[in-house]
Amino acid sequence: MKRFLMVVAVFFAATFVPMARTDAHGLGNQQLEQVEAGPYLVSVWTDPKNVTTQNNLHITISVQDHEKDFVLDADVQVKAVLVADSNITQLHTASHDNAIQKMFYEAKLRLNQTGQWHITIGIDSELGQGEASFDLRVAEASDSWTRWLWPALGVTTVLVILVFGMYRKTRSTPQGS
Amino acid sequence: MDATTEAFLRSWQLRWDVILVLLTLTSIYVTGWVRLRRRGAKIANVWRLVSYLSGMGFVALALLSGIGTFEALLFFIHMIQHIMMMMYAAPLIMLAAPMPIGMWGLPRPVRLRLAKFLNQKSPLRQLIVAITKPGIIWMFYTLNLWMWHDSEMYERATTHSTIHNIQHLLFFGTALAIWWHTTDAAPKFHKHRTYGKRMMFAAATYFQNLLLGIYITMSPELIYTYYATVPRMWGIEAHRDQTIGGLIMWLPGGMMYGYTILILISRMMDYSEKQAQIKAKQDRLKRQQAKGIAVS
């Protein structure tokens, strides 16, 4: 029975880890809402809400034409420039494959310098070229307790079951045996 | 097929938290079903297995497919998701007798311990009976459903993953409890529920669901303003999307309770007919006996 409970505990602990990462819908903080960028209307979301140097930044981009039809065959580039030092730049391609909702484009970045970053979204398709941008603050990686909440809950569950099982075993073992 | 529909069909999400839970619960149930089937138990019939697997399939479809990922963009897709979980998955799972069959999927010592915890006089069972009385469940289900459809609560759930998971767990949990009473599924912890009582219970649940559906459908204003901020799909504007969502809640959502009431009426008529036949037979026997006594 204890072995079974252990397996169940480990299993539930395992479900806590992805729960910590899974966003409600894969969108996040809205940075741009239907902004005109040349022949396109662009919406952008960033995830997580508080960007730090330690976590990955997901940028989800919606590209529509002025008729509000989705443009699905564009080449979408994400350029990030540190405002304090324009020599520090990153360039990434956003694609449908990375996105959860497949008519959006998504890029994954790791901005490893704190401070203000200027993010530019460049779009190119047979409709023409367009550009939209926004600023994003990247904070120092913090040891926020919430980051560890779900994994900690998982580990605690396993430990409690283990200790309880060992305690029961000690009590049920006859003295002197 | 247009490109947006194609994108919708391709937008599956690999959520390991959901997959692990569904796989574990399904393997426990299937193990129990196979064990009981080998022993020739009538409870482990094929339609129950199909019912359970279909229920789990609905949950997987609602949370992992395009329905689960596009709820962020369309209100009516979010309503379809909730209806799939509460009106289709929950009754299918309850009809499959998950508790007795699932218990047989557990290792023997765990099963025996659990049976001990749930025996008639155990405090745990008494607690379960006390907090799951039909009136309490109906109130909790209704409050829960209406609370989450408040515009502020709705927005919190759509933008915060943990709150959204809690919302889904509460919806599904309360729906299971509602269908436990409506279908009279095992374990039968509560007093015998007559067809009439079950019909009234289903009707009361249907009524509040209907009111909420009508309120959302008829609302002249956009209640869920979040949807005005996201790109619109298939050219459906936010207010129209809300009206469709309300209609889905009102009609297909309510329909399940309607069907249930019809099934219960038919069962009740069958039962009354059988009772009448038994009574007629007993009366005939009594008359025959009386005649026999009179002759002798």
Looking up tokens 């401070």 gives A115
Residue (of B105, B96, B90) closest to B168 by Cα position:
B90
pLDDT of residue B114: 87
Q: Please give the Cα distance from B276 to B270 (Å, whole number).
A: 10
Q: How many CB atoms are closer than 10 A to CB B179?
A: 24
Instruction: For chain B, list residues whose CB is within 8 angstroms of any CB belonging to chain A.
Output: 3-4, 6-8, 10-11, 13, 15-17, 20-21, 24, 69-73, 106-107, 109-110, 113, 157-165, 229-233, 235
Report pLDDT digits (tens) over A32-65.
999 999 999 999 999 888 888 888 899 999 999 9
Q: Map tokens 């070229």 to a residue.
A: A129
d(CA B274, CA B266): 12
**pLDDT at position A13:** 56
For B60-71, what is the mean pLDDT? 92
Taking contacts as CB-CB distances below 8 angstroms, the residues of chain B near A69 are: 4
Percent of chain B's residues with pLDDT above 90: 58
Contact A4 B7 (CB under 8 A): no
First to last CA, chain B: 86
Give contacts of A64 with chain B, Cβ < 8 Å.
231
**Are B218 and B191 contacting, i.e. CB atoms less than 8 angstroms apart?**
no
Distance, in Å, from the CA atom of B18 to the CA atom of B67, rounded to the nearest integer, reads 14
Handedness of CA B250, B253, B255, B261 (dihedral sign): negative
- Residue in chain B nearest A19 by alpha carbon: B17
pLDDT in tens, B182-205: 988 888 888 877 888 899 999 999
Q: Give me the pLDDT at residue B191, please.
A: 81
For helices A2-21 and B161-183, the axis angle rounded to 10 degrees is 130
| pLDDT tens-digit map of B104-140 | 999 998 899 888 888 888 888 889 889 999 999 999 9
Shortest CA gap A176–chain B (Å): 27
Q: Which of A18, A41, A102 sits opposite B16 (nearest CB)?
A: A18
Burial class (CB in 10 A: 0-12, 13-18, 19+), B274: exposed
* Number of domains composing chain B: 1
CATH of range A2-172; options 3.40.50.280, 3.30.1490.440, 2.60.40.1930, 1.10.150.80: 2.60.40.1930
Question: By CA distance, what is B74's nearest residue in A?
Answer: A25
Contact B231 A27 (CB under 8 A): no
Report the C-alpha dihedral over residues A4, A5, A11, A14, rounded to 10 degrees.
-140
Which pLDDT tens digit goes with each residue over B223-262? Answer: 999 999 888 888 899 999 999 999 999 888 888 888 889 9
Q: Considering only CA atoms, which of B103, B104, B29, B36 is closest in space to residue B59? A: B29
Count CB atoms within 10 A of the CB of residue B236: 17
pLDDT value, residue A171: 67
pLDDT for the residue numbered B253: 81
Mean pLDDT for chain B? 91
**For range B210-215, the mean pLDDT:** 93
pLDDT of residue A1: 57
- Using CA coordinates, name the residue in chain B closest to A22: B161
> Could you tell me the two tokens for B250?
């009102």
Read off the pLDDT of residues B11-31 as tens digits, 9 standing for 90 and up: 888 888 899 999 999 999 999
Q: Which residue of A has its CA nearest to B166?
A: A24
Residue A79, strand partner residues: A91, A120
Divide the 177 residues of chain A into consecutive groups of 10 and give the mean pLDDT of each group: 60 52 61 94 91 90 92 95 94 93 92 94 95 93 66 76 72 58
Nearest residue, CB atoms, A68 vs list B109, B113, B235:
B235
CB–CB contact A103 B229 (8 Å): no
- pLDDT confidence band for B295 (50 / 70 / 90): low
Least confident window among A155-164, B69-78, B92-101, B193-202? A155-164
Of A133 and B4, the structure prediction assigns the larger pLDDT to: A133
Of chain A, the end-to-end C-alpha distance in Å amounts to 22
Chain A, chain B: beta-carbon pairs less than 8 Å apart: 86
Predicted pLDDT of residue A14: 55
Name the residue range of residue B121's domain.
Answer: 3-295
| DSSP string across B187-213 | S--SSPPPHHHHHHHHHHHHHHHHHHH
Token duo for residue A171: 């009590």
3-state secondary structure chain A: CHHHHHHHHHHHHHHHHHHHHCCCCCCCEEEEEEEEECCEEEEEEEECCCCECCCCEEEEEEEEECCCCECCCCEEEEEEEECCCCCCEEEEEEECCCCCCCCCEEEEECCCCCEEEEEEEEEEECCEEEEEEEEEEEECCCCCHHHHHHHHHHHHHHHHHHHHHHHHHHHHCCCCC
Distance CA B101, CA A1 (A): 19
pLDDT band at B55, cuts 50/70/90? very high
Domain ranges within chain A, ordered by starting residue: 2-172
pTM for the model stands at: 0.81
Alpha-carbon span B211 to B154, nearest angstrom: 18
Calculate how close chain B gets to A102, using CA atoms only, in Å. 5
Instruction: Tell me the C-alpha distance between B113 and A1, whole Å.
Output: 9
Nearest to A15 among B17, B106, B113 (CB): B17
Contact A4/B106, CB-based, under 8 Å? yes
The tokens for B190 are 């509560």
Chain A residues whose CB is inside 8 A of the B162 CB are: 19
Whole-number Å distance between alpha carbons of B295 and B289: 10
Answer for the pair B229, B158: CB distance below 8 angstroms, yes or no: no
Q: Among residues B176, B107, B180, which one has the least CA distance to residue B144?
A: B176
Whether pLDDT at B222 is above 80:
yes
Which residues from B are below 8 Å from A60, CB to CB?
A: none
Cβ contact, residue pair B17, A33, below 8 Å:
no
User: Which of B158, B161, B229 to mutate against chain A (most A CBs within 10 Å)?
Assistant: B161
SS3 B44: coil
- Report yes or no: B259 and B88 within 8 Å, Cβ to Cβ: no
Interface confidence, given as ipTM, is 0.72
The DSSP secondary-structure symbol of B219 reads: -
In chain A, the residue whose alpha carbon lies closest to the alpha carbon of B9 is A102
| Least Cα separation, residue A139 to chain B (angstroms) | 21
Cα(B122)–Cα(B139) distance, integer angstroms: 26
pLDDT of residue A177: 46
Asked if the Cβ–Cβ distance from B160 to A24 is below 8 Å, we say: yes
Cβ–Cβ of B20/A25 closer than 8 Å?
Answer: no
pLDDT for res B246: 95
Q: Which of helix, strand or coil describes residue B73? A: coil
Residues of B in Cβ contact (< 8 Å) with A22: 15, 17, 161
CA atoms of B169 and B162, how far apart (whole Å) = 11
Residue B115 has a pLDDT of 87
CA A76 → CA A39, A144, B233, B257, distances in Å?
14, 33, 20, 48
Half-sphere exposure of A55 (CA within 13 A, CB side): 20
Closest chain B C-alpha to A2 CA, distance in angstroms: 9
